[in-house]
Amino acid sequence: MERPKILIVDDDPNLRRALKIRLRANHYDTVQASDDHSAIAVAQKEQPSLIILDLGLPAGDGFAVLKELKDVDTLSGIPVIVLTGRGPQFNEQQVLQAGAAAFFQKPADNRELLEVIRTIVPNPWPAMGPELSRRSEEALTTKDAESRTVGMLPDSTRGPETTQTVVLLSRIVEQIADSVILTDTHGIIQYVNPAFEATSGYGRDEAIGKTPRILKSGRHDPEFYRQMWEQLARGLPFKGMVINRKKTGELYWVQQTITSMRDKSGSLTHFVSVSQDITELRQKQEQEFQLQLARDVQQRLYATPPVVSGFDIGASAHPADETGGDYFDFIPMADGSLLIAVADAKGHGFSSALVMALTRAYVRCFAAMQMELDELLARVNQMLLKDLDHGDFVTLFLARLDPGHRTLSYASAGHVPGLILLNSGDVKCMLDSTGSPLGLFSGSKFTLQLPISLDPGEIAVFLTDGVTESTTPDGNQFGTQRVLDKIRALSHNSASTIADGIYHATRAFVQGDIQDDDITSVVIKA
């Protein structure tokens, strides 16, 4: 339904702003002009239903504008209300004789002005009532760290000193980022601010005359609304998180405050709702919660280093994100040996963590079949080929520790080399890869290396590349040599201390820079 249009001609921008807000709250559209020349041009272009004219224009005489309006055929039928602050030489009789429909001296009484406007230009939209109209213009949202309340200011006609304040506060309501809804006592929407339109998707004309039920999501039960109205009936503001539905059907979360507004006599006049869209914040909190939950689950998947007679075993895993793509495991075998797995999925974060959980399940499943390490890698490779996206892969190092014979055999699918150090600190051997990474090639072959003896005092270390590739801001990598130096420096400590020490050494090396990869190490002291 098209609303009547009113042209406001006044050189005071504050007054034009105040009139615009007051008229829009009463369902009138407005256009504006600030001088006599633009007044005629705007009137000819817009063909308003009514003109509100100030006689004291800066570049001419308002009487001349009034006369010209009456002389132009296309404009002569438009009624004019004179609203002026000029002196007593402009009296009502003089103005009415010049062709005006009504005369008001500034400051005008808002209620009388609106009554005259509605008489001259009937409006099919429901009237708000003068008191509600005044208050809707002057609604102010005041916010602090604890709450949001809506205050109502005195009528600007009570004194010219309040005009600028009212205009400023009206701008606040119009420009504030929170949604503001003003309803009557029956819940009929009388006003919404631009933030409401932007958030909900409903335009002002679509919302006014409706109830806030247009936002109802169906996610709250009747008890929720009963408690809300009970709170308001007691004269207390309602505060809570509400799930609303946009015009598009999309759900959004708001932190809402609804306040009962009363007049001087204490009678309820309307309700004001102020809502802050917290959808992004809630989604972020939900994501953080889910990631923390995933991390907790993943941490439980890391097996506790077992107690093995004649050996000290320790491990350390530190994801770069809440979840990581590194994985280690200890699996006791039926023959008394211990299977040790250290793996690294491409990348890091949640998706890599899912790949690691899948890899762990496959390794444990095939290990229960008492397979040799090379065959186990081949089986896991075939399974991952079906699961991974193109270009994704997993490197996996498998070792079997035989405590009775004090030997270690291994097979490696593209993994960073392991290390065995002699009691003297020299490198006994490097445990190089014996095949390609998993999940890339269907025909991959893997080689099982012959058992290597582990004599007392020797140390075996299995790493992921997050250790050796930890990089300083200027591009230097931690490298294998620094790993060896750290192991030697901590060789008289426990295996767990050595594993933790390697991690802390990498973090110190990068000078506190952001960790960009998962860091994992497993240490076996013979």
The pLDDT score that the predictor gives to residue 350 is 66
Q: Which of 488, 482, 524 is nearest to 503 (CA)?
A: 482
Residues 6 or more apart whose CB falls under 8 angstroms from that of 423 comprise 455, 456, 457, 458
Pairing of strands 427-431, 418-421: antiparallel
Question: What's the 3-state SS for 141-152?
Answer: EEECCCCEEEEE
Please state the domain extents for the chain: 5-120, 130-277, 288-525
CATH of domain 5-120: 3.40.50.2300
The pLDDT score that the predictor gives to residue 431 is 97
Q: Would you give the distance in Å from CA 218 to the centre of its chain?
A: 23
Taking domain 288-525, whether its CATH number is 3.60.40.10 is answered by yes
257-301 pLDDT tens trace:
999 988 888 888 889 999 999 998 888 887 777 667 666 666 667
Instruction: Give the C-alpha distances (Å, rounded to integers) separating 391 from 378, 438, 516.
Output: 18, 11, 20
Determine whether 120 is exposed, middle or buried from the number of CB atoms within 10 Å of its CB (0-12, 13-18, 19+): middle
| Mean pLDDT calculated for residue range 56-67 | 75
Residue 57 to residue 51: CA distance in whole angstroms:
14
DSSP label of 438: B
Q: Is 247 helix (H, G, I), strand (E, B) or coil?
A: coil
CATH of domain 130-277: 3.30.450.20
Instruction: Give the C-alpha distances (Å, rounded to integers) separating 211 from 138, 201, 216, 225, 248.
Output: 21, 15, 10, 14, 17
90-136 pLDDT tens trace:
567 777 888 888 888 877 777 788 888 888 888 765 554 444 444 44
Report the predicted TM-score, pTM, of the whole model to 2 decimal places: 0.52
